[in-house]
Amino acid sequence: MQMDAEAFEALVVDELDRLPDEMVAGLENVVFVVEDRPENGEDLFGLYEGLALTERGQYGMGELPDRIIIYRHAHLAASESEEELRGEVHTTLVHEIAHFFGLDDDQLHELGWA
Q: Output the tens digit of pLDDT for each of the chain's 114 residues.
A: 999 999 999 999 999 999 999 989 889 889 999 999 999 989 999 999 998 988 876 655 667 889 999 999 999 999 999 999 999 999 999 999 999 999 888 888 888 776
Distance CA 9, CA 59 (A): 30
pLDDT of amino acid 56: 76
- Are residues 55 and 19 in contact, defined by beta-carbon separation less than 8 angstroms? no
Distance CA 103, CA 97 (A): 9
pTM flag (> 0.75): yes
